[in-house]
């Protein structure tokens, strides 16, 4: 059952990735990329890694894709004319795609023929509790340093944006001198 679900989700991820590359409209490509991210998050859930799945959804499907869609909307891209000058690259791309498919099949064959070591069912690696425990015990200092660096970046961004909006002192003095 889990293998069938994995292959269904992997197929959905591959179909979304192909759709992302195929569409000429960048907004449709971004929506297809969200489908890839959601499929990958679902695959992480089937692999018993809920923390990574949630981070995948929050960071990539949420924040990063909002930025990508925002940039696409800001660029205001017009419809592109079909590119005919690069037609000679299509056979090269097809050949490289076949090489990639052959490599994928070889890796699939090698993994299925390799001996499978017994897995420990009680292993807690990748679980939210084990990640939180490691972050706030063994790796507390790096987490604190990253927190301070992020705070410094936020404060720096606020200061830079505030200075850009305020008028220059010289201009204010000049305007006051002209009024008098």
The DSSP result for 108-154, as a single string, is: HHHHHHS--PPPPTT--TT-HHHHHHHHTTTTHHHHHHHHHHHHHHH
What average pLDDT does the structure give for the chain? Answer: 81
H or E stretch at 6: helix 2-22
* DSSP one-letter code for 167: P
Report helix angle 2-22 to 26-46, nearest 10.
160
Q: Which of 8-22, 78-92, 103-117 has the highest mean pLDDT?
A: 8-22
Say if residues 33 and 16 touch (Cβ distance below 8 Å): yes
d(CA 30, CA 72): 9
How high is the pLDDT of residue 166?
Answer: 54
Q: For the stretch 42-76, what's the b/e string if a residue is b when 16 or more beta carbons lie within 10 angstroms of its beta carbon?
A: bbbbbeebeebbeebbeebbeeebeebbeeeeeee
C-alpha span between 173 and 180 (Å, rounded): 11
Label residue 70 by pLDDT band (50, 70, 90): confident
- What are 123-173's pLDDT values in tens digits? 666 677 888 888 888 888 888 888 888 888 888 877 776 655 555 566 666
């Amino acid at each position: 059952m889990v293998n069938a679900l994995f292959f269904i989700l992997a197929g959905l991820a591959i179909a979304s990735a192909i759709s992302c590359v195929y569409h000429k409209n960048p907004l449709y490509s971004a929506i297809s990329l969200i489908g890839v991210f959601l499929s990958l998050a679902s695959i992480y859930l089937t692999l018993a890694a809920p923390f990574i799945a949630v981070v995948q959804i929050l960071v990539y499907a949420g924040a990063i894709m909002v930025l990508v869609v925002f940039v696409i909307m800001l660029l205001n891209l017009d419809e592109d004319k079909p590119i005919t000058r690069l037609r000679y690259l299509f056979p090269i791309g097809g050949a490289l795609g076949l090489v990639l498919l052959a490599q994928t099949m070889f890796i699939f064959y090698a993994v299925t023929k390799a001996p499978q070591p017994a897995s420990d069912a009680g292993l807690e690696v990748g679980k939210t509790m084990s990640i939180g425990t490691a972050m706030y015990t063994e790796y507390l200092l790096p987490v604190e340093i990253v927190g301070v660096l992020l705070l410094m970046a936020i404060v720096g961004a606020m200061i830079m944006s505030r200075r850009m909006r305020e008028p220059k002192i010289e201009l204010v003095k000049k305007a006051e001198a002209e009024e008098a």
